[in-house]
Amino acid sequence: ILLGFQFGSQKAATVAIFSIALAAPGALILLMITHTALDSTAFLGILLVFAIAVNNVILVFARARQLDGNHPRPASVVFAAHQRLRPILMTMLADVFGFLPLAIGIGRGTDLLQPLAISVMGGLALGTVMTLWLAPVLYVAWTTKRPKICN
């Protein structure tokens, strides 16, 4: 509901929630590949991924609203995703490389936070794709009016 008020559209909020939720499998897949246990710190990492993904979707849809007003056209959402590509990728890469020493296990005490780092790295990798590609595609698909076919 809060995202609906933020975007001015419940359709945009639903698209955002759906694309954000699909970031979690990235974290789970990387945890499974690295044979790391799914514990409370891994869940904390998934929550962190959700927070970053929400921020990314807000950046894209807010830019689209700046371009087109209260109810952005589908083309403006795609253009906004293209414009926000570099800042979102820079944030994702900075986070992934920042968590890399923790994920590898460099230093003392990293075994406790290693699942958090791995889940954040996997979740951000997939969450960025979902934010920049899936959210605009779903928005365009949901808001584009199709002509009625009469027999």
Spans of all domains in the chain: 9-142
**For the structural domain made of 9-142, what CATH number should be given?**
1.20.1640.10
**Residue 101: pLDDT over 80:** yes
- pLDDT class for 147, splitting at 50, 70, 90? low
Using only C-alpha atoms, the chain has a radius of gyration, in whole angstroms, of: 17
Contact between 57 and 135 under an 8 Å Cβ cutoff? The reply is yes
Average pLDDT over residues 106-116: 87
Residue 147's CB: how many other CB atoms inside 10 A? Answer: 5
Contact between 25 and 126 under an 8 Å Cβ cutoff? The reply is yes
Contact between 130 and 3 under an 8 Å Cβ cutoff? The reply is no
Average pLDDT over residues 72-94: 88
pTM for the model:
0.83
Indicate the range of 39-43, 48-52, 140-144 predicted with least confidence: 140-144
More confident residue, 72 or 101: 101
Report the percentage of the chain scoring pLDDT > 70.
94
Report the percentage of the chain scoring pLDDT > 90.
44
